[in-house]
């Protein structure tokens, strides 16, 4: 049913495969469309975003690969634009807007890069209070649509739960978590951007289910939001991994269709 993925990384940012290797893998899986979305440039020290020169090279290579493989697969050149990414996004076919970190006391604290880094963020950045971290995360997330006018997809809205199965540091039924997340979801639903159902933490061994959890998916549906299933793939051997489970999840939450992307824009697949 799903013949495309629109959250895919390459070695231009923090994945292991070249764009062409990922494209060839997609063709072998029978994909009709593949969207590449490496991490945008960030002007603070990190080892997962592209440099500005790297972003230019990425864009140019994807344009060449679009032409090379145009008779076999449609290639879209996207970008995963972080909340703190300063560069414009107008040249890309579509944009995923994500939050991976928060600024506090003049320092950037990451929530996604590694489990050890996540622990440091909670303990040192937020004084051992995971709910303070959560509130800061969702405060940023709620403003993603305002910061990124070209926003197409809202990335992994409950990324702060990525390590919950291996490091359950907070209660997902806690009032502070619920209030912060619900406020952000309601605000983002006003944007009309797609919410992604993200399988990436499954392929990397941190979760056994996609995110977001059913609570937020049901709220998104009630608010009239639409969803798109993505792999957040960093290794071509996991391209399309978890999609069937994600389909069952969205069906169970009452969705009757999912979105997909083409060069002409958004389309829908009836479930």
Superfamily name and number for 4-96+148-162+193-270: Metal-dependent hydrolases (3.20.20.140)
**pLDDT band for position 1 (50/70/90)?**
confident
**Claim: this prediction has a pTM higher than 0.75:** yes
Provide the pLDDT for residue 240.
96
SS in 3 state form for 99-145? CCEEEECCEEEECCCCHHHHHHHHHHHCCCCHHHHHHHHHHHHHCHH
**pLDDT band for position 113 (50/70/90)?**
confident
For residue 195, give the 3-state DSSP assignment.
Answer: strand
217-237 per-position pLDDT tens digit? 999 999 999 999 999 999 999
Q: Mean pLDDT throughout 11-37? A: 98
DSSP β-bridge partners for residue 233 = 8
**pLDDT band for position 258 (50/70/90)?**
very high
- Closest to 189 in 3D by CA, of 159, 141, 147, 224: 224
- 39 near 27, Cβ under 8 Å? no
**pLDDT band for position 51 (50/70/90)?**
very high
Share of the chain above pLDDT 90, in %: 99
């Amino acid at each position: 049913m799903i013949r495309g993925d629109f959250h895919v990384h390459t070695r231009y940012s923090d994945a292991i495969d070249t764009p062409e290797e990922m494209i060839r893998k997609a063709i072998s899986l029978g994909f009709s469309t593949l969207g590449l979305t490496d991490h945008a440039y960030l002007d603070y020290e990190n080892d997962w975003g592209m440099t500005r020169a790297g972003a230019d090279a990425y864009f140019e290579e994807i344009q060449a690969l679009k032409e090379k493989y145009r008779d076999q697969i449609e290639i879209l050149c996207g970008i995963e634009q972080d909340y703190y990414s300063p560069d414009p996004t107008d040249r890309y076919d579509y944009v995923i807007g994500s939050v991976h970190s928060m600024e506090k006391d003049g320092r950037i604290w990451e929530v996604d890069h590694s489990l050890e880094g996540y622990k440091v963020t909670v303990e040192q950045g937020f004084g051992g209070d995971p709910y303070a971290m959560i509130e800061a995360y969702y405060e940023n997330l709620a403003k993603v649509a305002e910061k990124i006018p070209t926003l197409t997809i809202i990335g992994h809205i409950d990324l702060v739960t990525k390590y919950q199965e291996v490091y359950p540091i907070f209660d997902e039924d806690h009032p502070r978590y619920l209030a912060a997340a619900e406020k952000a979801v309601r605000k983002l639903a006003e944007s009309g951007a797609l919410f992604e159902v993200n399988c990436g933490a499954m392929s990397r061994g941190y979760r056994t289910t996609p995110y977001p959890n059913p609570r937020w998916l049901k709220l998104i549906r009630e608010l009239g939001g639409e969803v798109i299933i993505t792999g957040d793939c960093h290794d071509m051997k996991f391209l399309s991994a978890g999609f069937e489970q994600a389909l069952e999840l969205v069906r169970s939450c009452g969705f009757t269709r999912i979105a997909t992307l083409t060069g002409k824009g958004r389309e829908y697949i009836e479930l």
